[in-house]
A and B are shown apart, each in its own frame.
Chain A
Amino acid sequence: MGFILKILIALMLGFSALSASAEGVNVQIKDPWVLAAPPNVKVLAAYLEIINNGGKPRILINVSSPAFDQVGIHRSVMHENMAHMEHLKELTIPPHASAVLKPGGLHFMLMNAKKPLQIGDQVPMTLTFRDGEKIAITAIVRSGKMEDMEDHQHMDHSGHKNH
């Protein structure tokens, strides 16, 4: 019994070590989540924080998920109370900076859900950077909270580049 437990712990440690290395040496992903939506909704949004601990800029060029046909990097822009959406070809995270994707601002637009998602569901996603590095993450479907909201007064655009 103790032996099996030890093996299990060893396996778990091994997996977590693997997933840590999957995060890359310099890029760290924090709190990936998907905003819960009505069951008949085909288009959803994912949010997270991408932290670049390295000395070189990192450029996110593609996002994919087996749960959706397509994923885009988008930004909601509010101009005179009009909400617009911008499609970003890539997202640059400068050295020692982070890109924060949150409601009302930057987000991954998840298009054409293959099946309805519910609160608590896990959405696997792969982030591909220009240098070829791929990072696998799992986002949790949950409802929005106040602290998630984009603060329009103090929006920080450093680290976001629109091409």
Chain B
Amino acid sequence: MKNQSGALAKRSLALLLAIAVAVTAILGWRLGNNTVVKPPEEIEDYLFWQAKDLTEFKLTAANNKTLALNDLKGKWSFIFFGYTHCPDVCPVTLGVLGQAFKLLEKNPASYQEIQGIFISVDPKRDTPERLKEYASFFNKKFTGVTGDTAQLDAFARQMGALYTIHSKDPQNPGDNYLVSHNSTIFLVDPQGRLYGRFPPPQAPQEIAEVFIKIRTFYNERIKKQWVLF
């Protein structure tokens, strides 16, 4: 009798456990489905598969100011690497990004959250003061920064942005050496994470439209996370 009821209790316990596991699995699967938000197709190619946390860095801005990780937080940052002795790709890309910012003025919620950062990988010729004047020519929301080789290398590595400073062309006297650089516009989210990228060739309309969609997607995702936890 005792044995029998014991076996029954064991069996019902096992059944209960099985039900609990099944319920948890189904619940977990359903909740999981809600948390893994797939980005809309039209912005998928512009986003990194997983947003990447940036680690602390230090770059130099005009008036003895620095640019650090904290300066990226709370804003969407459009980051472009280049140098001011670059006559073609740099002014063209910054011109395109400047026009995209102009288009975003029509969307005040987006516009107030954006900033442009031009990083010169040619600190020998580009002083922070020179970069400030250079960057602000393309848009008033642009700043220009640089750093020493170690600072630039560390930050460029985090962003996955290669650059090479070429030796002087013996046939080209003077100060005119060339620099190869990544001409992607990188997008860092308000949490300081590398979130997206606009590969070349870019167009103002494309950047503005895609950014609005990225921002909407990002904000919806943040809201969903709050509901869950």
Contact = CB atoms under 8 A, between A and B. Distances in A.
A42 B201 CA distance: 25
Contact of A109 (B87, B134, B137, B201): B87
A4 interface: no
Interface stretch (B6-14, B37-45, B88-96, B216-224): B88-96
A153 to B, nearest CB: 9
Contacts of B91: 35, 37, 41, 45, 144
A152 to B, nearest CB: 5
Interface stretch (B19-27, B54-62, B71-79, B172-180): B172-180
Given A40-B130, A112-B174, A149-B201, A81 B88 contact: no
Interface in A96-136: 103-104, 107, 109-112
Contacts of A161: none
Nearest to A151: B201
B174 A111 contact: yes
A69 B200 contact: no
A162 interface: no
Interface in A143-162: 143-144, 146, 149-152
B203 interface: yes
A95 interface: no
A39 B133 CA distance: 8
Given A43-B176, A45-B88, A104 B184 contact: no
A38 interface: yes
B85 interface: yes
A76 interface: yes
Contacts of B137: 37-39
Summarize B's interface: helix, strand, loop or mixed: loop
Interface string B107-135: 00000000000000000000000100110
B28 interface: no
A46 to B, nearest CB: 9
B199 A81 contact: yes
B21 to A, nearest CB: 48
Contact of B169 (A81, A84, A87, A107): A87
B75 to A, nearest CB: 23
A34 B95 CA distance: 14
Interface in A37-95: 37-45, 69-70, 72, 74, 76, 78, 81-85, 87
16 contacts: A35-B95, A37-B91, A38-B84, A41-B134, A42-B85, A43-B84, A43-B176, A72-B172, A74-B87, A78-B200, A82-B180, A82-B181, A82-B183, A83-B181, A83-B183, A144-B91
